[in-house]
Every structure is written in structure tokens, then in C-alpha cells.
Amino acid sequence: MASISKQIRKSSKLRKKLLAVALTLSLAAPVIGPQVGFADDQGYTGEEGEATPYIGRGAITTYKVEKAEGQPEIETATQDRILVLDGKYYRDADGDKSLDGYEDWRKSVSERVADLISKMSLEQKAGLMYINTHTPVADPTDGKFVTDANANIVINKKLRHVIYRLSQNLGDIANYNNQMQQLAEGLELGIPVVITSNPRNSASTDYTNITNVQDQHTFWPGTLGLAAAGDVEAVGEFADIARQEWRAAGIRKVYGYMADVATDPLWARIEETFGEDPKVVGDMNYEIVRGFQGETLGADSVAITVKHFPGGGARDDGQDPHFANGSFNIYPTEGSLEKYHIPPFQKAIEAGVASVMPYYAYPSNDSADQGLEPYSETQQFEEVGMTLNKGIIDYLREGLGFKGYINSDSGAVAGSAWGYHVDENGNTISGAQKVAKALNAGTNIISGGATPELVIEAVNSGLVDVSKVNESITYTLSEMMTLGLFEDPYVNPAEAIAAANNEDHRALAYEAHQKSVVLMRNDKIKGEKLLPLTEEKLENVKLYVEGFVGVAAPRGHANPQEYINVESQKQSAGFSADLKNTLKEKFPNIELVDSVEEATHAYVYVKPTQSNWDNNPRIDINETTGVSDLDRIVEIQKTVPTITALNFTNQWLINELEPNAAALIGTFGTLQEAAFDVITGEFNPVGKLPFAIPASAKAVEREVGDVPSFAPEEYKHFTYKTKTGDKYEFGFGLSYNQGKVPAHAGETGKPTHATETGKPAHAEK
């Protein structure tokens, strides 16, 4: 949706309010500091490069009692922490040589948790209320990832939840986990550590990023690619495979996946979604939850935190609430919240999701009526961030029946506590007040920063009752015990490496890449469709290949465009060289040439990039997204029949790129080998667009912002239309046997849940 300040139909009252909000925040800036709320993420771009092979660094010795009938597996880093009573083994967590109630696995989880909480000081409880980033690098001399110096948040702050963001091989991650657990084992009460990560099985612009290498996680297309493939069952397979890898490496909680519906094409985080159809988003999240957690949470599970409630896709001009200018959610369409944004969260709850993460934004009272319980007689919503918003969290629990716990987003109870920085008298709201507001609203664990002293202050000053703290840590301690961490928090790095390199799993991941490719255009050349380039056709083909790969600038870079220009040129050259080598190795029947003048055909790969950290939403394909020489691409297209592959992390504006392409392919973090399987006819394309492509910048300006492209409320001229009459709407995708049903496809040209018009079956006519 275009900025509200640009839209005539939005009231002057709202414009005045936004100006007032901006002024208030600028006045508060000296107190909250620049970019406050993301201290743990500063400078992070997610581009760590390839993982190094596993060499065994950082391994520790552990002592294990194998699982047997009537006996869970027990493992410790100190042999005398294993208790033996009446022929049964227990983990002596506090090291007192006796069996405490919380150490007795024969008791119910609720009994054990109650006993442990009764033994904890307020300081220890407060530490369990926080989760923060911890990404130490191994010491090259002794291989230690975890030392007293870099584990302050665990030792002194008493945190037991950490976020791990590095993209190392799984053996190193396993040893990192074991060192963390060894550290925690030697501290008071022996409460284990829960290691959390953002999704880590695909390429990512802004978060944990991996490549297709040995010893690392299996490499899958991005979530948009999984949605494009349209294979819900395969998503369940993916989640189960990822669970095995994560579990083997010791990562027991996922900060994801996203149940947000992509309704604003400018939003940079569309890359992390499953697209714009609430049904697809919901179905895929259901499978993700069941794949990672199982039917019920248990010792082999990885817990899921679905985000960002009640749906982060309803943006204004693409602005994200990590930043002040995107600090609100507005719903200009009556009932859009429950009609489009809530259903995927309902599916995740139905699947038994362990926790839910609200977004930073506050719900704007300039929204159309959403039919929820009003905040007051005069206000539909309390205009404070979702994490601090009792009405929103009550709706999640009471309206949707959610039984798990609420995990704040990073900084949402600090610098990004939108709507709650100053009170009605202009006084700065303290950190303890923000914590109390969040806890009293129903938030159970606070992400970003490590300030348990604020919880202690809030309790001691009477802002929040200690019962709220006990209630919150009951949730998280119950999860720890259910995951089996109080019996065995350790993992075997050899098993982690084996999980990473499972050939059957890698084959399934590769098939997912093949299915993610969307054939969008396939012109006739000399009376015959350009694609596929079969063995017979290739006898007369001389192919020129070139990549145009955009790079995002690091967060806070002094001259981001200069960085984008220089680094994108380097990445493009490197990509082109690597692609030629890959094709020579895996497609030796393709004759490659070094210039367009020698070529009969060309393959051009275009990867525009925008980062959410830019705080500069844009979907043009030009120098701002790292594609500095669009004229060069058009020149190639006009010289020889060109297969143009476009990587979609957003709904890019293709007005200059598409018209001269002889064939157009959509990819979504897809391996080039898989794209060439489609190009050569080894795999019949089955992918369908997970969102519509906008017709123009004008269409983006006029689109509604809180509804999918196929919704009756959307701007009717939103979707791009080719000169031949094809509309690049949701669910569009061509096949080589159009009108037939290949064995590996759903109904050709349409997702399985679509009507004959290409619109989802649940969309209104």
C-alpha cells in the first residue's frame, strides 16, 4: 500500500497524528538512542559465506546412560552428576547428591516445574524471562566456543535462552551446544540452555544464511519457493528433515516460521513468507509445526515460535516496524484482519504451535472496523505495540484458544516498544515500566537485550506481581522439560554431521528446488517454443550466460549505494564464472560461448536485492536493488533469444525486464542446476506464482495494502499483463504439456486450491 500520507482517502487527522508520533519519537531519541532495540543484530547481514568442513574442534567428553524401558537417556558432562537410586538413573542438576523433585523424571512436568520454581530466587527467575543473541567464535588455539568471558548472559545475567545466528557446519554447532550445556550444568540449579535460531535451511538476505555445501544443513528453496511448488506434503517432509538436523545439532527452538500474509508488495520481509494466499500460508505453517514438533511436543521435537501476530504483512508503503516510520499496522479494509491475516495463525494453533511472537507495530485506530472487542468506547485498539497490547494478546488466547506462551520480538519491550515511550504527560517511560506493561499484557519471554534487573525492579516496585513471572517461567521451564533437556541436553556431533549429509534428504531438497521453478513465458522461436532446450535442440545452440546479482549494504553503512554498486559488480562476476563451471560439469552437452556475438541463445540470471535493514522499501529492478546495468540485459535480450531467470524475494516491477525476454523463469532461492533441469526438459515446470506481479509503479501506489491481490477489495488493475494476454496473477505458471497433468504436478497452470479463474477457491467472486 502506498504511504497513507500520499492517499487522498486517508484523513488529515491521521496525517497529523503521524507527524505528532514522529515528533514525539524525535524528542525521545536522546533517551532511547539510535536504532535501539536491535543491539544484538547491529551490522548483521546474514552473509557469512560457506561453512567450513567439520574438523572436531571444541568437542567435550560426556557420560551417558542409554535409554531403556522405564529409563530415559541421561547424559552429563560431569560423571558425578549422574544419580543412581533403586536401579534408576537421574541427572543431579544441582549437584547436591540427592534427588530433588524437579530432577525426578517419574513425576509430571507440572510437579517438577513447581518444585524448581519454589527453589529459585527472583534473580534466577528474571534471567529466565529473557532471550538474547549469543554467537561466539571458536578460539583457534583450543576450539572453545564458550568461555566465561563471552558467556556473561548465562553466567551473570542467568539467561537460559540464547539465539544462535552463525551458519557453521552442524558439527561445530553441536559442540557449541555441548559447551553451553556444560557451562550451565556447573551453575546453580543446573538449568539447561535452550538454543534458538531463525530458519536456516535456505538462502536469506537478512537472517541466518546458508549455501549448498557439505556438513551444513540441507539446502532448500526459500519459503516462497516452497509455496510456488505447491506441495504441502513435501513441506511436511522438509520440516521433519530440518527437525532431524536441528535436533542433532542441539538447536531446539525455531524463531519462525512466518504466518504473515504478503499483502504489501514493497515489504522487504516478503522473502520469508509463504506468499499472499492465507490458505497456502496456513496449510504450510500447519505442516511446518507438525514437522518440527510432531503431533505433540517431546524429546525429539524442535519447538516452533510462529510469527508475527496478528500478521505483519499489513504494511504502509512497505515500511517495517523495526523502524519508527513503520511503527503501526493499519487495516483500511473492513474485516481484513480476521478474513486474511488471522487464519494462518489459527492453523498454526490447530497444529499445536509452542509459542507465538507478536510484531512490534501497534494497531492504528484509523483502520476500518475489524470486528474485534473494542479497547474503549472511543477507540477500536489500544495504540501500543502488539507485545504490550493486552487486547491483542487476550484475543490470541481467548478468541483463538492459544495455550502456549508469548515470545516478544527483539527489542519490542525496549527501544521498539512503539506507542509506549512517553506517557500522556510527556514523561519518559522507564524500562521497568515497559517490562511490566508487557508482562501484564501476557508476554512471557522478552527477546533482545539481557536486562533481567528490569524484571526485578518491576516486581520490587509493585508494577507487576511476581505471580506473572512465575506464570511465564512455568511455560518455558515446562517446554525445557518436555523437550528432555533436563535429562539430556547434549548431542553427538557425529550424528549431526550424518544428518547434514544424508543423501536421501539432499535428494528431496533438490526435488523441491526443481518444483519451485515457475515458467512464466515461453515464446515461439521460428515456429517452435523456445523451451525446453532438448538434446536435439542443443545441437544447434551456442549459449551465452551472465548473472546480474544484487547485494544489500550492511546495516548502517555510510554510503549504501556505493557499497551496492561495487559489491554487486563483484558478486555478478563471481556468479557468472561459477555458473559456467557448473554448466560445464553438470550439463556438458550445452555449448557455452564467451560473447553475445558468438551466441545463438542467452541465459540471463537477475537477482535484485533489498534488505529490510535499509529501511528503504523498493521493488524496482535497477541500481538501487543491485542491478546496475538493466540496459545490458535488454541489449542481450534484443540480440539473441534470451531465457531470463528472475529471482523473486519481492514482487519486482518487471516492466523493462519482461517485454524482450523470449522465455521468463521465476526462481526463489533456487539452485541453478534445478533451473537448468527445467530449461533442458529434464523436469517439467510445475511451479505457480505465490503472489501476483504488479502491473506498474502506479499499481503499487494504488494497491490496498491489507488484502491479497485476488481479493475483491484490491485495486482491479493491480496485476501485470503481458502483450500476449497472460496475467501474472497468483497461481500462474506454465508447463511444457499445458493442459495435461504431469505425474509430479497438480492441475496444470493452477494451484490445487484454485478455481478455474486462477483465484483461490476461498476468494470471493
Q: Which residues contact 20 (CB under 8 A, 6 or more apart)?
A: none
Q: Residue 627's closest CA among 649, 642, 612?
A: 649
All three cell numbers of 121, joined, read 530466587
All three cell numbers of 221, joined, read 528453496
How large a percentage of the chain has pLDDT more than 70? 90
* Sequence-ordered strand ranges (E) for 198-338: 251-258, 303-309, 328-329
| Residue 49 burial (10 A CB sphere; 0-12, 13-18, 19+) | exposed
pLDDT digits (tens, 9 = 90+) for 166-180: 888 999 999 999 999
Is 545's pLDDT higher than 90? yes
Q: Which residue has the higher pLDDT, 710 or 753?
A: 710
| 518-685 CATH fold | Rossmann fold (3.40.50)
Residue ranges matching CATH 3.40.50.1700 in the chain: 518-685
Three-class DSSP category at 291: helix
Q: Which residues contact 66 (CB under 8 A, 6 or more apart)?
A: 73
Q: Residue 760 — pLDDT band, cuts 50, 70, 90?
A: very low
d(CA 256, CA 151): 25
Mean pLDDT rounded to a whole number for the chain: 90
Q: Residue 51 — pLDDT band, cuts 50, 70, 90?
A: confident
The winner for highest mean pLDDT among 29-38, 79-88, 742-751 is 79-88
d(CA 740, CA 720): 26
pLDDT digits (tens, 9 = 90+) for 437-483: 999 999 999 999 899 999 999 999 999 999 999 999 999 999 999 99
d(CA 512, CA 154): 39
Give the helix ranges, DSSP H, for 120-169. 122-127, 152-155
pLDDT digits (tens, 9 = 90+) for 561-595: 999 999 999 999 999 999 999 999 999 999 999 99
Determine the average pLDDT of the residues in 332-347. Answer: 98
Q: Residue 343's closest CA among 290, 398, 385, 280?
A: 280
Verdict on whether the full-model pTM lies above 0.85: yes
Long-range contacts of 114-120, Cβ-Cβ distance < 8 Å, separation of 24 or more? 114/474, 116/189, 116/191, 116/477, 117/470, 117/473, 117/474, 117/477, 119/94, 119/189, 120/189, 120/473
Q: Residue 346's closest CA among 414, 279, 299, 392?
A: 279
Determine the average pLDDT of the residues in 83-91. Answer: 97
- The pLDDT value recorded for residue 139 is 85
Is 2's pLDDT higher than 80? no
pLDDT digits (tens, 9 = 90+) for 313-335: 999 999 999 999 999 999 999 99
Q: Residue 21 — pLDDT band, cuts 50, 70, 90?
A: very low
pLDDT digits (tens, 9 = 90+) for 402-412: 999 999 999 99
How large a percentage of the chain has pLDDT more than 90? 87
Q: Residue 1 — pLDDT band, cuts 50, 70, 90?
A: low
d(CA 368, CA 31): 34
d(CA 254, CA 390): 25
d(CA 390, CA 149): 38
Amino acid (1-letter code) at residue 107: K
- The pLDDT value recorded for residue 208 is 87
| Residue 208 burial (10 A CB sphere; 0-12, 13-18, 19+) | buried
Q: Residue 29 — pLDDT band, cuts 50, 70, 90?
A: very low
Residue ranges matching CATH 3.20.20.300 in the chain: 4-44+104-500
User: Angle between the 672-679 and 560-586 helix axes, to the nearest 10 degrees?
Assistant: 60
Three-class DSSP category at 584: helix
Amino acid (1-letter code) at residue 415: G
Read off φ and ψ for residue 18, nearest 5 degrees: -65, -40
All three cell numbers of 87, joined, read 536401579
Q: Residue 11 — pLDDT band, cuts 50, 70, 90?
A: very low
Is 539's pLDDT higher than 80? yes
Cis peptide, bond prior to residue 532, ω within 30 of zero = yes
- The pLDDT value recorded for residue 561 is 96
Cis peptide, bond prior to residue 310, ω within 30 of zero = yes
d(CA 124, CA 127): 5
pLDDT digits (tens, 9 = 90+) for 195-205: 999 999 999 99
Is 31's pLDDT higher than 80? no
- The pLDDT value recorded for residue 9 is 34
- The pLDDT value recorded for residue 24 is 29
pLDDT digits (tens, 9 = 90+) for 660-703: 999 999 999 999 999 999 999 999 999 999 999 999 999 999 99
- The pLDDT value recorded for residue 137 is 84
All three cell numbers of 489, joined, read 541436553
Read off φ and ψ for residue 71, nearest 5 degrees: -150, 115
* Sequence-ordered strand ranges (E) for 342-440: 355-358, 362-363, 405-406
> Which of 131-135, 277-281, 283-287, 459-463 is predicted least confidently?
131-135
d(CA 191, CA 116): 9
Distances (CA, A) of 309 to 337, 395, 597: 11, 11, 53
pLDDT digits (tens, 9 = 90+) for 618-662: 999 999 999 999 999 999 999 999 999 999 999 999 999 999 999
- The pLDDT value recorded for residue 45 is 30
d(CA 166, CA 368): 42
d(CA 282, CA 347): 5
Q: What number of helices (H) and strands (E) belong to the chain?
A: 21, 22
Neighbours of 597 (CB within 10 A): 9
Superfamily of the domain at 4-44+104-500: Glycoside hydrolase, family 3, N-terminal domain (3.20.20.300)
